[in-house]
Amino acid sequence: MKARLFTIPGSHPGWTARLMLERKGIPYSRIDLVAVLSKPILRAAGFGGVTVPALRIDGRRVQGSRAIARELDRLVPEPPLFPADPEARAKVEEAEAWGDEILQDVARRLVWNRLSKDSGPIESYLQGARLGLPVALAARTAPPIAKLSARFNEADDVHVTADLASLPVMLDRIDAYIADGVMGGTEPNAADLQIATSLALLMTIDDVRPFIEKRPCGELARRLVPQFPGHTPAGFPPQWLEPLRAQAA
């Protein structure tokens, strides 16, 4: 089976796809793209959409972390990414969809907001990337890319303040998935791999990591995605973090 994964360094759903391919034992080549520039390249590669992860596998094109999960399960059923029991599967699918549609965006906005104001840390997100040019050189393109990405992803201060205010409830929700056995089993499922990578990205932000790392969800993310790159030093205005502090108190 031939597989080629198109991703962006530090893309959390890109890491979800990588982890799923690795879990299935499918050998693949990886093309790392620069954010924003990725869009025309994906089009030129024949994909219908403009986001990563995008996968060519066995001559087919599959785009989106959830579609990829299902295609991989179809092609290589073992180990499964979804439970066989329909009720258990529905719960995993609900958690996975929430991770994809809600949590992913929060993690993306928080990081792009910080990087659009200080692009220095971008180089740390490029560690291990296969961009076809030296990381230090690629990092020089960072300031305009970070600003455009922040704009495309609505990573403005208003959205990010609201995201930080809603994060305590989101973390409770993930810990509840773990307590209920929807996530956190010995064999990671599609919801584990979807949500853990967003948590891993969130934990690259020094302002946010202390509020996640010791919780069950933080421990799960560390176990499933120990190698996630990137480090953004503290920089959010302290009052934005008040909801997280209040929950931790």
Least separation in angstroms between residue 214's CB and ligand GSH is 26
List interacting residues with ligand GSH (CB under 6 A).
8, 11-13, 35-36, 38-39, 51-53, 64-65, 100, 104, 108, 149
Least separation in angstroms between residue 26's CB and ligand GSH is 18
Q: Count the neighbouring beta carbons within 10 Å of the beta carbon of residue 90.
A: 13
Residue 33 CA to residue 178 CA, distance in Å, equals: 33
Instruction: Give whichever of 55 and 241 is closer to ligand GSH, judged by the CB atom.
Output: 55
Residues 6+ apart with CB under 8 A from 215: 171, 175
Instruction: Give whichever of 20 and 167 is closer to ligand GSH, judged by the CB atom.
Output: 20
Least separation in angstroms between residue 145's CB and ligand GSH is 8
- Dihedral pair phi/psi, residue 229, rounded to 5°: -85, 165
Q: What is the largest CA-CA distance in the chain?
A: 53
Q: Can you point out the beta strands (E) in the chain?
A: 3-7, 29-32, 54-57, 60-63
Least separation in angstroms between residue 125's CB and ligand GSH is 11
Q: Count the neighbouring beta carbons within 10 Å of the beta carbon of residue 131.
A: 17
Q: Are 79 and 34 in contact (CB under 8 A)?
A: no
Residue 235 CA to residue 208 CA, distance in Å, equals: 10
Instruction: Give whichever of 49 and 237 is closer to ligand GSH, judged by the CB atom.
Output: 49
Least separation in angstroms between residue 50's CB and ligand GSH is 6
Instruction: Give whichever of 11 and 119 is closer to ligand GSH, judged by the CB atom.
Output: 11
Residue 198 CA to residue 172 CA, distance in Å, equals: 15
Least separation in angstroms between residue 211's CB and ligand GSH is 22
Instruction: Give whichever of 173 and 215 is closer to ligand GSH, judged by the CB atom.
Output: 173
Instruction: Give whichever of 117 and 214 is closer to ligand GSH, judged by the CB atom.
Output: 117
